[in-house]
Structure 1
């Protein structure tokens, strides 16, 4: 993936849960890094599937979100497993 600005503002559209919920599926983040970490570490796998990270006009799917999280340049501490 080309150079990515983790400090840009970002929006995350979470994928649908397997069982319905009326909670909002969109969340805004001050930085893309926070959005990426939230998507990978806090969303259930069923919700990560179908999620979209939006930064300016660019959109990233769940596979690309995972690549951003795993990239050596990811600026935040990762949760230990």
Structure 2
């Protein structure tokens, strides 16, 4: 995966497929890191399907967003693992 500037402004476009438990809409974030954290920690996993993150005119799909969150270079603290939840690394996202 190419380098991402986690401090750059970002736009998150949630996927439209499936029946998400709540409606998630397009959002702008001051940083890509905040957008990635929101996508993984706050959005319903189904919303990652078909979602994309745009940073510096480059798009990252749902699976790539998961990879960005799990990357060693991700600058924010991650949420503690919930033993009942599906881990971000294995969440199915396209």
Same fold (TM over 0.5): yes
Distance 2:71 2:19 in 1: 32
Distance 2:17 2:42 in 1: 13
Runs of 4+ in structure 1 off by over 2 angstroms are: 17-21
Cα shift at 1:46:
1.0
Q: CA RMSD in A?
A: 1.8
How high is the TM-score relative to the length of structure 1?
0.88
Aligned to 1:55: 55
Aligned to 1:65: 65
Distance 2:51 2:41 in 1: 13
Distance 1:20 1:66 in 2: 18
Structure 1: gaps spanning 5 or more residues: none
In the comparison of the two structures, how many residue pairs are matched?
A: 80
2:52–2:60 CA contact under 8 A, matched in 1: yes
Aligned to 2:6: 6
Matched residue SS, 1:68: helix
Aligned to 2:88: none
Structure 2: gaps spanning 5 or more residues: 82-94
Matched residue SS, 1:36: helix
